[in-house]
Structure 1
Amino acid sequence: MIKVLLVDDESWNRDIVRTFGAWAELGMEIAGEAEDGREALRLISELSPHIVITDMRMPGADGVMLMNNLHERNPEIKVIVVSGYDDFKYARNALRYGAVDYLLKPIDPKELNAVLDKCRRELEEAGRGQSIYALDIDVSLWLSSYKQRMRVHFNELNAEGVNSVLQGIGRELEHEGVKGPGVFRQAASEMLLLLKELIRGNGLEEDLLKAEIPHTALASAESVSAYLTELYEASLEQLIGQRKFKNKLNLEEVRLYIDGHFAEAVTLDGLARAFFVSKEYLSKVFKQEYGCNVTDYILGLRMDKAREWLADENIPIKTVAELAGYEDVGYFYRVFKKHFGVAPGEMRKQKSGLKMSNPEG
């Protein structure tokens, strides 16, 4: 069993990681939890974890101190950093001390499990004596924006958009290639992890993906781009065939797709393109079946989830907005108030008042 240690001073952040991780499936267990770097170092000496997931900003002994110590004493431990956008500059120096990967807050379950799976494979490879390349955090940062666009384009069957993303990655790698072959391997590995996520999410066969990336695919930026393009195009073609040649539109499939992607940039136009129907037809039959149009259904999902997360006072309202799919917090406030008649903060106060007046309920 691969042992994992969680390090974060906020219990709700640890709860999120504990809840979202596919521990049993990945052959992992949470061996312990710590609230700061000093407690983490004590537990590391007792538990000997294989992976440490740590926040950066913590009172007392923070993530920087912890990573400095791990770099010197336990370089074999895989470290996953949790960081917000505002903390990125602060986190970057620490990442140079050997972090395997990082997660941006709010944590996405799919990204968490993809990173954990990557750590698992690296631990297995290290056990077989294969060399592991250190993560270049700058590469991961610029890749993250391409990944966001790729998710939307792939799920909407937008072949032109998928190719555009891969071409952009190829151009970036032309500049980054001076850092050495590790950059090519990292970009290829991260984009293959994303493709695996997309394949599983759409119920496709994983036969196209091989366990190892061929050495010839890592020879240059051009070869990385060509390798990824071949795999993404083949997978997209498989998904198009799966959806295009169905006898009729399965509305339940559409609804389940929305349920799984409501926090992303899901639109009526994108859904219509993804399921090979006109947006007018999709809008009409969806409303007939579910009693509301697609846009209102997505809004309802986002608002219900936001209300649920607001009940936990430890989750900042800004994080609630991001989890519900709103990057602009001001816009989230306006939409929420229009939907429920009260602002997010006011609803939180009301719920808090109810709990205080009824502590057993």
Structure 2
Amino acid sequence: MTKLLIVDDEWMVSDSLRSMDEWKERNIEVVGTAGSGTEALQWLERTHLDIVLTDIRMPDMDGLELLQRLYESNPEINVILISAYEEFTYARTALRYQAKGYVTKPIDTDELFSIVDSLLFNEPASDGPKTYHEAIVERAISYMKTHLGKPLSLRETAEEIHLTPHYFGNVFKTVTGETFVNYLTQLRMKKACELLKNPELKQYEICERIGYADTKYFAKVFAKSFGMSPREYRQGYARKV
């Protein structure tokens, strides 16, 4: 699990960032919060860290000095800077010491997690999918295939893999190029074609096995997908064999 430390002298900001569900969705553990760069370094003495999310303006040791210290002693740690100011000198220092991102307050969470996700993409898996998002989609598709007979929804599938529906829907479309609904329909139509090859199965039985309660609606979706009715598809297959 990826380890994250939040560094900000404003406890309300730290607490708000720490409590976001998006960390768990990405298999990131927020190990704690620190109020200064000095306190962050103390955390590092007793805990392995992968990401440090730090404010710039803090008492004792600010975020830029912390960035420099980590660059010199622990360059493998990814540092993301937060600031209420858009100052060129900050950005220049951030670039010099290889900060992975720079986010201004008030924090745009979409921008923040876009940076976080880019860091997770850069961690190749030893087995299976290469990225975290691909792993999410692989799990989702596996669940969909084994539950085609149920009236599946994006929300239900997202809950099954412990993600928010909005986040899951965006990830699914990014990875597959299809919306959840379109991809699910394709899976059901592919399964319908397999089942139609069995002459003993009635059309309503096929509908039940792929999650459709209305045979007329199933026939309409099938015709839109393949340009023929389920009956015509079955007859065409029967002539081939």
What is the TM-score when the length of structure 1 is the normalising length? 0.35
Kindly report the root-mean-square deviation, in angstroms, between the aligned alpha carbons of the 2 structures.
3.1
Task: Kindly name which structure, 1 or 2, has the bigger radius of gyration based on alpha carbons.
Answer: 2
Tell me how far apart the structure 2 counterparts of residues 113 and 21 of structure 1 sit (CA, whole Å).
12
Once residues 44 and 6 of structure 1 are traced to their aligned partners in structure 2, the CA distance between those partners, rounded to angstroms, is 12
Structure 1 residue 208 corresponds to structure 2 residue 172: no
Q: Matched residues in 2 for 1:56 and 1:205: separation?
A: 33
Alpha-carbon distance, 1:95 to partner: 3.3
Aligned residue for 2:7? 7
Q: Give the structure with the larger helix fraction.
A: 1
Distance 2:87 2:96 in 1: 15
Deviation at 1:112, TM superposition (A): 2.2
Does structure 1 conserve the Cα–Cα contact (< 8 Å) formed by 2:79 and 2:99? yes
Structure 1 unaligned segments of length 5 or more: list them. 129-195, 210-234, 239-361
Runs of 5+ consecutive residues of structure 2 not aligned to the other structure: 128-165, 183-241
Q: Alpha-carbon deviation of 1:127?
A: 7.8
CA deviation vs aligned residue, 1:261-294 (integer Å, no higher than 9, x gap): xxxxxxxxxxxxxxxxxxxxxxxxxxxxxxxxxx
Q: What pairs up with 1:193-272 in 2 under 5 angstroms? A: 200=170, 204=173, 206-208=175-177
Match of 2:30 in 1: 30
Partner-residue secondary structure (3-state), 1:20:
coil
C-alpha deviations, 1:43-65, integer Å up to 9, x for none?
01211110000011111111111
Q: Secondary structure at the match of 2:124?
A: helix
For residues 81 and 36 of structure 1, the distance between their equivalents in structure 2, rounded to whole angstroms, comes to 13
Return closer, same or farther for 1:89/1:126 CA change in 2, 3 Å cut-off.
Answer: farther
Kindly indicate whether residue 124 of structure 2 is the aligned counterpart of residue 125 of structure 1: yes
Deviations 1:161-217 (A, max 9, x none): xxxxxxxxxxxxxxxxxxxxxxxxxxxxxxxxxxx97x729x8574139xxxxxxxx
**Residue type of the partner of 1:200?**
N
Alpha-carbon distance in 2 for matches of 1:36, 1:126: 33
Q: How far is the alpha carbon of 1:111 from its aligned partner?
A: 2.0
Asked whether the 8 Å contact 2:3–2:30 carries over to 1, the reply is yes
Alpha-carbon shift at residue 94 of structure 1 (Å): 3.2
What's the counterpart of residue 104 of structure 1? 104
SS of the residue aligned with 2:170? helix
TM-score, normalised to structure 2's length?
0.51
Partner of 1:132: none
Q: CA offset at residue 21 of structure 1?
A: 5.1
The residue type equivalent to 1:207 in the other structure is T
